[in-house]
Structure formats: structure tokens, C-alpha cells
Amino acid sequence: MNCCRRYLISGRVQGVAFRASAQGAARGLGLTGFARNLTDGRVEVVACGEFQRVKQLESWLQQGPHWARVEKVVAEEMVEQDFHDFEVC
């Protein structure tokens, strides 16, 4: 079963290669979507693909890359979207 989820990640998540690392993790799981910085200091990640793989990425987002300090991850379901790759915006 496929799904799309949107994540808002708070903490020290900008300037620590969070988006590029999320891209690598998502592509490794065969997911599509994007990661982008928000002006309020959070990172937004949208991930689409097989449900269990999206949940695996969600677990990764709770930790992030070595240099990040994730304080909070808010997740919400989305209507499925047709992305062709996982991009960093």
C-alpha cells in the first residue's frame, strides 16, 4: 500500500546536511518527494511510497544525520502525489 506523509522537523536541522542526508535515506528506501528548509528554522520533508518504507524514513527523521539535533517531528497524512524522484529544494 502506498502513501504520502508530510513531516515538519524542529531542532538544529538547518546547516547540518539534514536535507541531503534525508534525500540519501529516502532514495535508499525507494521513496519520492522532497526536503526543504523553512524560514522558521524547521525542515519540511514530504515522502511518498510503500507505507513500511515511509515509516522507516520517519524513524530516520527522528534521529537525522550525526550533526543534527532533532527536537520534534510532526507527521501528517497527505493525498498521494506523483513525484518522480526525491529532491532537495
Question: Which pLDDT score, from 0 to 100, does residue 37 have?
Answer: 98
pLDDT one-digit tens code per residue, 66-84: 999 999 999 999 998 899 9
Phi, psi of 50 (to 5 degrees): -65, 135
> β-pairing, 86-88 with 69-78?
unpaired
Q: Based on the residue annotation, tell me whether 37 is a catalytic residue of this protein.
A: yes
- When pLDDT is cut at 50, 70 and 90, the band that residue 1 belongs to is confident
| pLDDT surpasses 90 at 17 | yes
Q: Which of 2, 5, 6, 19 is catalytic?
A: 19
pLDDT one-digit tens code per residue, 24-42: 999 999 999 999 999 999 9
Q: Based on the residue annotation, tell me whether 36 is a catalytic residue of this protein.
A: no
Q: Which of 37, 42, 53, 69 is catalytic?
A: 37
59 CB-side CA count, 13 A: 7
Question: In order of start, what are the domains of the chain with their CATH numbers?
Answer: 2-88 (3.30.70.100)
- Helical (H) or strand (E) element with 20: helix 18-28
